[in-house]
Structure 1
Amino acid sequence: MLTPFDDYPVHQTALPVAHAGGGHPDHYDRFWFNGYDEQMYFALAFGLYPSRGIIDAAFSVVHDGVQRSVFASGRIPLDRTRTSIGPISVEIVEPLRVNRILVDAAEHGLVADLTATARTPAHEEPRATQYDGTELRTDSTRATQMVTWTGQLASGGQDIRVNDGTYGTKDRSWGIRGVGERTPAAPRTALPQVFFLWAPLNFADECLHYVVMENEAGQPWLERSAGASLLLAPGETVELEPLQTFRMKGVGYLHPTWGHGRWHDELAVGGETFKVAELDTIAPDCVHVQQVVRAVWGDRIGLGVLEQLVIGSYEPGGFRGMLDGAPE
């Protein structure tokens, strides 16, 4: 099946661009952005699932103790340059340099016109590959880039100030990851287990980035730092002070209805609003979080996020069951 993008010299196999990932049902290709200061946080997720025929996106804001989201899902366009679905669009103004996101969902309380400009080069994280028995569950690549934001943002009818130079992150990932409804297979022989930390941090003159995924014994199966790790050397650490929390379900992660790669209709749009203080910290759809953090590194003071996801046992932290949290 030929599409307009086949006219560009981008092919990786003898197949047209529309045939992705060797036909694996969990192949995905995603944009992800966040932006934040000490008073507000916003994020956008935008994914394509070629083998499932689905495109979806979500945009979410935390401000004044409220988390508000809009979701959109539909049939994937044949033209992969059409990076829009419903009220949400992502524009590639200058590849690896400038992106623009547009949200026109006043009926769900969200309107945005925001431009991200690269603050750093894109950093290719290690390829993540994981099997569940003989089943390939994860095989993906992620490129992480620090950005700054300009533009306009409104939530719940209230304009939110986005100062020029507001910090944020651009995350582009693609490959195979569990999305949508699980394909028919034998029952799992072991319970799911995830320990994941992801920390892009901004300082005035430098940026740090750290990512780790560990098994239940605390052994890393993916780890990388760029610039420095959170423990730089004996006596030299980066202290993180949490300022506000964003539940990642706001952009589809672990969402019971708007999870990534699920078919809803030719076009479906929905929204939701929660008071942050009323969300259950260890509810299944709330355990995946990003916290805006103040970062102190010697005499430097910066701002960043610490993403956290823990499911199942994790011996170093004292986690035992699926979602029981750490011991007091």
Structure 2
Amino acid sequence: MDDHPVHQIAEVIRHVGTSDRNFYDRYYFNCHPRLAGGDEDPTGPWLIFGLGVYPNLAVTDCFVVVRHGDDHIVVRGSRALGDDRDDLRVGPFRIEVLEGLQRLRISLEPGHGDVSFDMEFTADAPAALEPRHFQRQLERVTFDTQRFVQTGAWSGSITLDGKRFDVDPDTWRGNRDRSWGVRPVGEAEPPGRRAADTDSAGFFWIYAVMRFDDFAVVSIVQEQRDGERVMGDARLIWADPARGIEWLGRVEHEITFIPGGREPSSAILRFIKPSGATTVVEATPQLGNYIGFGTGYGLEQDWRHGMWQGDEKVEAQRLKVSELDPTMKLFCPVDHVASFTLTDADGTVHHGEGLFEFAVIGPHDQYGFADYVDVTPV
């Protein structure tokens, strides 16, 4: 890449423009069979894949997590980061950019746990930049990231427990994103004074990527415990690039929780423009993938994104969703395959499906959670 005129700073490409240890550059993909009738569980594996590069930690790592029935299956790998940023391999994992912003291939060779796959993602809508994610805590910049998102279809195959699932683009959907910048990664840092900063306690998060017939809708909400917004956005992305991207308005949410926890049984999102024109989305989560368990998002202190694991390491684990620690489930986002019903400002109804990623970690005043382990009454 240093032979191309793409430099941003007076450094070679592999050196980023900050020495912050927490700089990262990541791929995320999800893949699921289409919902039957829009209101039933998918019949095949619900697969999520990620690969991250951490230049200032000299590490790259990768994971796949599959939800199928009551099974939670993880394969993860880590290696020392070399000089070639176009080398998107981690042990048996690989990403290939076949056509930028249009087609990508992901694969996991057989022989590493109970899952393998070889699949190609083909976009069905333009990639859309999301708002910059910036957050500062006691002078320290903890988040400063950029991300784009894109919906698409999948082709190829997944093998799970020796059974092959043919992945056909007519029936297998998903979305992918690319994000990069600064966010907490690697070995946990001593919090220092930040441990006493209770004003910013609480993390409320909605990330919904909805695919309808002619367009996609992406909505993001991040709030602190009192409802103060860190991020809030909703945009409609037309599949026809000539029609562009439309801002839908400010976001309001109404979550109904499953008794005894903090998982959503349903959600209503309202996108309200200054004129009062309102778009309403009813979301129904169908099947959750508990991405915090085993993948590096922070629950296990021996495997976090960007943590040094040696020159190369590959591991696999298998858990039962019904046996996951209910307290630990309160501390990680859950990625749900969901059905969506959108009623636009003119009253037209659209049906779709996609991702409903949700978390409410710590106190949150709107929903009555006063502490980290409070749950919805049974």
TM-score range for the pair, normalised by the shorter chain length:
over 0.9
Alpha-carbon separation, structure 2, partners of 1:279 and 1:75 = 31
* Alignment-derived partner of residue 190 in structure 1: 197
Alpha-carbon separation, structure 2, partners of 1:137 and 1:160 = 41
Q: 1:183 to 1:20 in 2, by over 3 A?
A: farther
* Alignment-derived partner of residue 333 in structure 2: 288
Q: 1:85 to 1:125 in 2, by over 3 A?
A: same
More displaced stretch, 317-326 vs 304-313: 317-326
Alignment of 1:41-52 (within 5 A): 41-52=46-57
More displaced stretch, 6-15 vs 26-35: 6-15
2:319 corresponds to 1:278: no
| Partner of residue 3 from structure 2, selected from 4, 7, 18 | 7
Alpha-carbon separation, structure 2, partners of 1:240 and 1:281 = 23
Q: 1:236 to 1:134 in 2, by over 3 A?
A: closer
Q: 1:86 to 1:323 in 2, by over 3 A?
A: farther
In the TM superposition, residue 240 of structure 1 has moved relative to its aligned partner by 1.5
* Alignment-derived partner of residue 133 in structure 2: 128
Would the aligned equivalents of 2:26 and 2:51 in 1 still touch at CA under 8 Å?
yes
Alignment of 1:159-174 (within 5 A): 159-165=164-170, 166-174=172-180
| Partner of residue 307 from structure 1, selected from 357, 361, 376 | 357
Secondary structure class of the residue paired with 2:18:
helix
* Alignment-derived partner of residue 256 in structure 2: none
In the TM superposition, residue 322 of structure 1 has moved relative to its aligned partner by 2.2
In the TM superposition, residue 305 of structure 1 has moved relative to its aligned partner by 1.4
| Partner of residue 69 from structure 2, selected from 64, 81, 88 | 64
Alpha-carbon separation, structure 2, partners of 1:148 and 1:255 = 31
Alignment of 1:5-44 (within 5 A): 5-37=1-33, 38-39=42-43, 40-44=45-49
- % identical equivalent positions: 29
Would the aligned equivalents of 1:199 and 1:210 in 2 still touch at CA under 8 Å?
yes
* Alignment-derived partner of residue 231 in structure 1: 270
* Alignment-derived partner of residue 374 in structure 2: 324
* Alignment-derived partner of residue 254 in structure 1: 298
Alpha-carbon separation, structure 2, partners of 1:49 and 1:285 = 27
In the TM superposition, residue 50 of structure 1 has moved relative to its aligned partner by 0.4
Q: 1:176 to 1:45 in 2, by over 3 A?
A: same
Alpha-carbon separation, structure 2, partners of 1:161 and 1:323 = 41
Q: Deviations over 1:244-286 (max 9, x none)?
A: 1101125322240332011111001001111222223441586
Alignment of 1:234-245 (within 5 A): 237-245=280-288
| Partner of residue 104 from structure 2, selected from 91, 99, 102 | 99
Q: TM-score, normalised by structure 1?
A: 0.92
Q: How many residues align?
A: 324
| Partner of residue 84 from structure 2, selected from 79, 83, 86 | 79
Alpha-carbon separation, structure 2, partners of 1:35 and 1:74 = 25
Q: CA RMSD in A?
A: 2.0
Alpha-carbon separation, structure 1, partners of 2:146 and 2:130 = 7
Q: TM-score, normalised by structure 2?
A: 0.81
In the TM superposition, residue 287 of structure 1 has moved relative to its aligned partner by 3.0
Alpha-carbon separation, structure 2, partners of 1:280 and 1:76 = 33
Alpha-carbon separation, structure 1, partners of 2:305 and 2:187 = 9
Secondary structure class of the residue paired with 1:277:
helix
Equivalent residue letter for 2:197: A
More displaced stretch, 307-316 vs 225-234: 225-234
Secondary structure class of the residue paired with 2:112:
helix
Equivalent residue letter for 1:317: Y
Give the gaps of 5 or more residues in structure 2.
34-41, 237-247, 252-268, 344-348
Q: Deviations over 1:55-94 (max 9, x none)?
A: 0000121113212110000101210000111111111101
